[in-house]
């Protein structure tokens, strides 16, 4: 059984959801989601989580096979120690951070391409998906580099994306 709790200041916690679908917010929902709220999703497995309303921040921690659908995020989506998860942002999200995750998929709208910033560290694979100009139901896949090559150029240490990601 899933657990949705509200804790001050302005945080919802969705924890231990397994094999079910959860909706947070919406007109008839028990919990109302607003721009000032942060949503922390933790220790969930094989779940779909619908966030019905724009929120300030979404965090995904220690989750596997979780899909999160959110209209818009004011600050960022942060993912840590999770695997095989999907995030679908329908409108805008300025920042995404991926830390120690594997097989992550992030779907963002085309108009987010100009301002979205993705930070990644210590993990496996992650991909950003953006609708194509020709067909908004088709997505172009952009791999997010987790591996960098560091080398000296003169007396400066320079970091570059691994050639694995520059094809």
Tokens of 28: 């008839």
Q: Is it the case that residue 72 has pLDDT exceeding 70?
A: yes
- Which residue ranges make up each domain of the chain? 4-165
Quick one: what percent of the chain has pLDDT higher than 90?
A: 60
Tokens of 22: 């959860």
pLDDT of residue 161: 79
- Of the candidate CATH numbers 3.40.47.10, 1.20.120.420, 2.40.50.140, 2.160.20.70, the domain formed by 4-165 belongs to 2.160.20.70
Lowest-confidence pick of 37-41, 104-108, 112-116, 147-151: 147-151
pLDDT of residue 113: 81
Among candidate residues 28, 82, 16, 26, the one with its CA nearest the CA of residue 55: 26
Tokens of 32: 């109302």
Distance in angstroms (rounded) separating the CA atoms of residues 10 and 70: 17
pLDDT of residue 22: 93
β-sheet bridge partners, residue 109: none
Among candidate residues 16, 17, 56, 15, the one with its CA nearest the CA of residue 33: 56
């Amino acid at each position: 059984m899933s657990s949705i709790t509200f804790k001050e200041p302005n945080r919802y916690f969705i924890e231990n959801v397994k094999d079910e679908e959860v909706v947070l917010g919406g007109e008839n929902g028990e919990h109302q989601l607003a721009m000032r709220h942060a949503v922390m999703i933790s220790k969930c497995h094989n779940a779909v989580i619908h966030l019905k309303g724009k929120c300030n921040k979404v965090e995904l921690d220690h989750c596997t096979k979780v899909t999160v659908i959110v209209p818009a995020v004011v600050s960022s989506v942060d993912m840590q120690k999770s695997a095989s998860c999907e995030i679908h942002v329908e409108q805008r999200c300025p920042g995404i951070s991926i830390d120690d995750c594997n097989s992550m998929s992030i779907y963002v709208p085309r108009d987010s391409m100009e301002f979205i910033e993705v930070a990644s560290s210590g993990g496996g694979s992650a991909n950003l998906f953006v609708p194509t100009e020709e067909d908004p139901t088709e997505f172009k896949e952009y791999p997010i580099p987790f591996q960098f090559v560091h080398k000296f150029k003169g007396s400066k240490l320079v970091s570059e994306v691994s050639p694995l990601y520059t094809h």
